[in-house]
Structure 1
């Protein structure tokens, strides 16, 4: 059963899109207002041991999900390792529970009535072409191109770049040649409006079905945005969009930027990396690829809940043998008041790749 609510474009970046979206006729008549059907709340969950090794082979019954302390029933479940084996160098992680690994091949049977449809994957790469990037521009392009090639067969990837404005160089595509051409065609710009550009990218990802992630390559602090990072973080949480940020020591040396990068990635379920050199940048991209290839994706229909604001999500593992592992995922999302109406955000953006 679908649950409907009214949602509005918000300059601060607040938008609820926890599941698939269906525009209404009113939305077509009024560009500042649209309606969505909240079909499922989707969670991307990474499970690791104390050494950071990924735990594979878990089943739906190993997870317990609550929303505002209300138990939720898992409706769909998928393990990325079963889908993206070609992206992994080895077999199941040696740290995986023996019993879970033994049953990994029969997860579909164990899921009972759970939906077994393949979850689509969408990754947006957001590249900093501001004047912060002058010294390492070519190295950064090489690292991004290698990342694109390593994601062959993953799903659809988009390549965006930004300085003061956002450039949608290559919109979502499976054509890796087009993507790499977009990477090599970038040129250095001026000031860095990271938060403006990241907000627009999250909004592009928000209506998409399935697993979605944004990989940001930033070489320095934001010095030109009108949007605060807190609004970007909440939008990413509320839309179920993972944010991974690769930055340099220049950003890490700025406490405000480092804290903002850490928070935006953490609350979305992603990670932040601060690389000292181009080798560490390539290692960070490899780590992101491995993370995407080891996620559990589960979803649920929210139970009746009178809370119309921020809803807290808790995901835990069941069983004494699983309590030693660590989970990373988003911890909630926001429902908007039905009577909010604010103009859409104002940062400029250009689409350089033709139709989507």
Structure 2
């Protein structure tokens, strides 16, 4: 990812104009429904795994992290079979967060209020937390490398360029590139995606992207920016064509929402669909807490079969939400000795 700069503002423009731009993205590439339309078999990625590490977020009904849990409060399952927990640690450490922001022109038609709200996230970061900022449309671009300098981070946010792409918003392939970039970093890593969820990544790449998401140690949290596009137009009788257009956009956003859900689900993250400024503030405050706290569990893979295994973690207690990555790639069978 390379650096970019620049600022193009279209504040005050109509959300319907933004919806039109997004409708172009939805029709210009068949990858908008990549998750459901993938046809080609992806090549298998094989890694050696002697221990499976699982980062687990446990929150209460208010979205606050639940402290004080012990090893005996957790149960972990590999393909539905319970496994002994070999290592357990409650982790509170400085966060490493990549803020990954959609830079297509549709977002700027909303004005910059939603992106200014990201300052809530910056304000909640501790002095030791580090943030990097990247944007994406057709390709992903790095604006700011990891730093604890909040002034530099705010400057990068204020100078986002929203005119990098028009018909292409390659969300999932951009996230996959970001995961590759983060692979060299040690410690806890999180990608916070600010996006409408519209994804024009090629459908045939989805299986490889999904496997990368499932087997990485990066958690994805996502905040949808599409709330304003869905608001009905007040005091206006829509024509038949306008109704058909809005129905089409609504269908497209249903697919976009599913893209965000799937990206976050497989990595043990979560997605937020804020409808107003209060919802945005609440989402960013919760994210700022979750990126620093987790429980780290580990278990030995029960078999070496080179297959993807599902992971399930259960926690004692009621009204607790548990988030963790959903799978890992087991080590391949050992070659017979000659």
Fold match, TM over 0.5?
Answer: yes
- After TM superposition, the structure 1 = structure 2 runs for residues 34-45 of structure 1, keeping only pairs within 5 Å, are 38=49, 40-45=51-56
Alpha-carbon distance in 2 for matches of 1:47, 1:13: 34
* Corresponding position of 1:56: 67
Distance 1:62 1:204 in 2: 35
Provide the C-alpha distance between the structure 1 equivalents of 2:43 and 2:196, rounded to a whole number of angstroms: 23
Counterpart in the other structure of 2:154? 180
Q: Distance in 1 between matches of 2:284 and 2:149?
A: 19
Counterpart for residue 283 of structure 2:
284
Matched residues in 2 for 1:132 and 1:336: separation?
Answer: 44
Quote the Cα distance in structure 2 between the aligned partners of 1:279 and 1:72: 43
TM (norm. structure 1) is 0.65
Judge conservation of contact 2:304–2:330 (CA < 8 Å) in 1.
Answer: no
Q: Do 1:65 and 1:74's aligned partners in 2 also have CA atoms closer than 8 Å?
A: no
Q: CA deviation at 1:186?
A: 1.2
Task: Pick one of 303, 306, 310 that aligns with 1:305.
Answer: 303
Cα distance in 1 for residues equivalent to 2:324 and 2:292: 15
Displacement, 1:266? 1.7
Which 5+ residue runs of structure 2 have no aligned equivalent? Answer: 1-40, 231-248, 334-338
Residue in 2 aligned with 1:236? 213
> In the alignment, which residue of structure 1 is the partner of 2:312?
314
Distance change >3 Å, CA 55–CA 152, structure 1 → 2? closer
Displacement after TM superposition at 1:226 (Å): 6.2
Deviation at 1:231, TM superposition (A): 4.2
Relative distance call for 1:274 and 1:324 in structure 2 (3 A) is closer
2:324 pairs with 1:329? yes
CA RMSD of aligned residues (A): 3.1
Equivalent residues of 1:123, 1:157 under 8 A apart: yes
Structure of greater Rg? 2
For 2:264, what is the secondary structure of its paired residue? helix
TM-score using structure 2 length: 0.68
**Could you tell me how far apart the structure 1 residues matched to 2:132 and 2:206 are?**
22
Q: Number of aligned residue pairs: give it.
A: 267
Q: Per-residue displacement from partner, 1:241-294 (whole Å, max 9, x unpaired)?
A: 111111123489322111121122122111111222344333222221233344
**Counterpart in the other structure of 2:90:** 78
Matching of residues 202-281 of structure 1 within 5 Å: 202-223=179-200, 228=205, 231-247=208-224, 248-249=226-227, 250=229, 253=250, 254-281=253-280
Cα 1:275/1:236, change in 2 over 3 Å: same
8 Å CA contact 2:63–2:286 kept in 1: the answer is no
For the structure 1 residues 139 and 202, does the alpha-carbon distance in structure 2 shift closer, same or farther, using more than 3 Å as the test?
same
State the shift of 1:57 in Å: 0.6
Change (3 A) 1:335 1:141: same
Match of 1:99 in 2: none
Quick check: 1:166 aligned with 2:126?
Answer: no
Distance 1:163 1:173, change over 3 A: same
Report the 3-state secondary structure (helix = DSSP H, G, I; strand = E; otherwise coil) of the residue aligned with 1:222: coil
What is the deviation of 1:12? 6.0
Q: Counterpart in 1 of 2:29?
A: none
The Cα shift of 1:52 comes to 4.8
Pair 231,271 (structure 1): closer, same or farther in 2 beyond 3 Å: farther
SS of 1:307 mapped into structure 2: coil
